Amino acid sequence: MRTAASLSAHVEASKELPGYPEDCRRKEASGVRLGEPLDVALIRTDQALGRANARVMRCGRWYDEIKQGYAGGVQ
């Protein structure tokens, strides 16, 4: 029993996390240019915010899947 527990602990300790997706490291910019009308600036800013929020959701789902795999012993 101790050998099995020791082997199981060794396997768990040797698991490596997969690399963090590059997409999750990207930053967004609004792309607003000096002198643009405010309505255009608002649209650009809203679109950038939408892209950033979508990225947060994708990265959160990725992390949740990784966490679930490690908790369940599946990789």
pLDDT in tens, the chain (75 residues): 677 666 666 556 667 888 999 999 999 999 999 999 999 999 999 999 999 999 999 999 999 999 888 877 554
Nearest Cα to 48, choosing from 28, 34, 27, 33?
28
What the block records as the tokens of 9 is 């602990």
- The end-to-end CA distance of the chain, in Å, is 24
DSSP codes, 13-41: HH--PPPPPGGGG--------TT--HHHH
Identity of residue 14: S
